[in-house]
Structure 1
Amino acid sequence: MSSVDSAGNDASVLYRVQHDTRYDYESAVELAHHLAQLRPLSQEGVQHCEAYQCDIEPRPEHLARDLDAYGNERLFFAHYAPHDTLSVRAVSLVRVQAPAQPDWEASPAWEQVRERLRYRAGRPSEPAEEFSFGSDFSPVFDAAAAFAAPSFPPGRPLLDAAHDLMRRIHAEFTYDPDSTEAHTRAPQALELRHGVCQDYAHVMLSALRSLGLAARYVSGYLRSRPRPGEQALVGADASHAWVSVWCPANGWVEFDPTNDRRPAADYVRVAVGRDFADVSPLRGVIRGGGRHALHVAVNVSPASG
């Protein structure tokens, strides 16, 4: 169910999100500890998670929830009995609206933002400052700064520059699921100029951070089936990733370099962090199991109600 604003655009959409993960192990897993981050975020003015349920088979012997430093819900679970399969199904109802359009004219020059984020003894730090440092998947390195430079000439407003960087990444990179792996880092992705949404986001993060700017990784989903007449987005039917950039006049502003657009009401946000390592949907440590086959399916569709 959706509501429509005075301009005829979707003001909000209620989505049903189903994320299925299944592991089939070659031999029995004797002991397993897992961490899942599958509950969509509730963010004022953007989206609200109205219902959430996570079913795990076999049923875990231990289950606990908490919030991480960035406000993402984490679900810890453990199995102490042998098992040869693991299934995790997360079903959510999320009401989403398009983020407010940023005030582009109020965006300061990017150098001013860099100076504001720079540490000065005795001066209070900006909360966004922690996202200006390199991380494992998105380190600060010279080639990333050189790649970003054409989009960031002196005095250019930050949001204009970030938008141009997004468009250049989209134009100069080839979406290729077979070219990279889950552990590929930004330096390798930048050299290859091939990859998936995770790689596009990591490269954009490194480019921005290498100039001293603050940017964070956003994980989530896209509407699985576009409306009639709309082009399908790259990354639907799987977890997606994009970037948000901190601008003093506008807060966090999102950019999706994979699809060359700003996220709207067809994006569902699950978690934010420094890079993929902070927001992986499901990870863990097991004893036993041998080789395994992994199956993941995601569906995001409008819900009634």
Structure 2
Amino acid sequence: MGMSAKPPQRTRGTERSHAPRDAARTLRVTHDTRYRYAARVEAAQHQARLRPLETSSQRVLEFALEIEPAPEEIAMGTDSFGNQRTSFALHQPHEELFVRSRSVVCVSASALTGGKQGEPPPAIGTPVPGRASTWEAVREALAYRAGRPYDPASEFVFASPYAACHPDLAGYAAKSFTAGRALGLAAWELMRRIHADFAYTPNSTDVNTTALDALILRRGVCQDFAHVMIGAMRSLGLAARYVSGYLLTRPPPGQPRLIGADASHAWVEVYDPAWPENGGWLQLDPTNDRAPGNDYVTLSIGRDYADVTPLRGVIRGGGADQELSVGVTVEPLDGG
């Protein structure tokens, strides 16, 4: 049996829109994945994470999944991170697999960060008592102590396959995480430093590149930018998690295009229990040097890319080579 290839990381992208950054907007997402095999596949088992998440700022209005050839077995479920998961089996011989997901999603931006790019917004740049913690206080709160109440965010403090805890990553983060600094402000600066220090270079890395690899290379794609930021924060004892999703595909005329459209994208959530939105999780996108807005659609969350791969599986047959093509289109339905 061979492992089917993971869809490649998408390039940067998002768009700026006519709609206000803090307004709710409705977006339609079409995500196509096609495998062409060098030889006939006799049987296959696949798992898809292609249904966007339901969150406090995102509602899924419609979702449909098309699979060709039609699977003999299909099951829906939820993984340990709350992501919607579809498992399906193909027992008939086939030389091609096509999976299309269609979603209509209503997205609202954060009221405090709402698509902000560049210098931090007031909620982060000028922390208010009760809405921000020092990073040392959060690290202490997440550290294991016998008898201490369990905080689910502590699961995202530990190393994972792509985001190790390592002194080199801690050293890179340390310039931003100075003594007594608010966690959100330090994380915002770390985001900006990664954006400035790392070159966005498609094909310079692959799906197996780790945060430590990317730190050495100082280049990569959105997956790598996210892994570096996650690994750097975890190496200081802080909680950070990986977010996969989509960006609006086409910017309005005259507006710059963000990195990551026409593909799935990746960004980061960092945890401060005092942060008043999203259960304490602050979203940051080091690839585009900004906080996500209503032009981002959240697909899945996890420790790193391994937890959120949109489509993966095991096949019997198929030959040594596979041709993979992936296409994503995100378009506004409300005139934005």
Normalised-by-shorter TM-score class? over 0.9
Match of 1:138 among 157, 163, 174: 163
- The equivalent residue for 2:79 is 68
Taking CA–CA contacts closer than 8 Å with sequence separation of 6 or more, which of the two structures ends up with the larger relative contact order?
A: 2
- The equivalent residue for 1:97 is 108
Aligned-partner Cα distance in 1 for 2:89–2:158: 33
- The equivalent residue for 1:154 is 179
- Alignment-mate amino acid for residue 97 of structure 1: S
Q: Is 1:295 aligned to 2:309, yes or no?
A: no
CA offsets, 1:187-236, max 9 Å, x none?
A: 11110011000000000000000000001000000000113332111011
Aligned-partner Cα distance in 1 for 2:196–2:214: 15
Q: How do 1:43-192 and structure 2 match up within 5 A? A: 43-44=55-56, 46-101=57-112, 103-104=123-124, 105=127, 106-192=131-217
CA offsets, 1:81-107, max 9 Å, x none?
A: 100000000000000110231643131
- Alignment-mate amino acid for residue 230 of structure 1: Q
Aligned-partner Cα distance in 2 for 1:19–1:274: 23
- Alignment-mate amino acid for residue 195 of structure 2: H
CA offsets, 1:26-62, max 9 Å, x none?
A: 1100110000000011112x11010000000000011
Match of 1:237 among 255, 262, 267: 262
Q: Is 1:214 aligned to 2:239, yes or no?
A: yes
Say how many residue pairs are matched.
299
- Alignment-mate amino acid for residue 238 of structure 2: L
Q: Is 1:262 aligned to 2:291, yes or no?
A: yes
Deviation at 1:10, TM superposition (A): 5.0
Deviation at 1:108, TM superposition (A): 1.2
- Structure 2 residue runs of 5 or longer lacking an equivalent are 1-17, 114-122
- Alignment-mate amino acid for residue 253 of structure 1: L
Contact 2:63 2:104 in 1 (8 A): yes
- Alignment-mate amino acid for residue 93 of structure 2: P
Q: State the identity %.
A: 55
- TM-score scaled by structure 1? 0.95
Aligned to 1:287, the other structure's residue is in SS state strand
Deviation at 1:304, TM superposition (A): 5.0
Match of 2:32 among 6, 13, 20: 20
- The equivalent residue for 2:117 is none
Aligned to 2:259, the other structure's residue is in SS state coil
Which runs of at least 4 in structure 1 moved beyond 3 Å after TM superposition?
none
Q: Is 1:282 aligned to 2:293, yes or no?
A: no
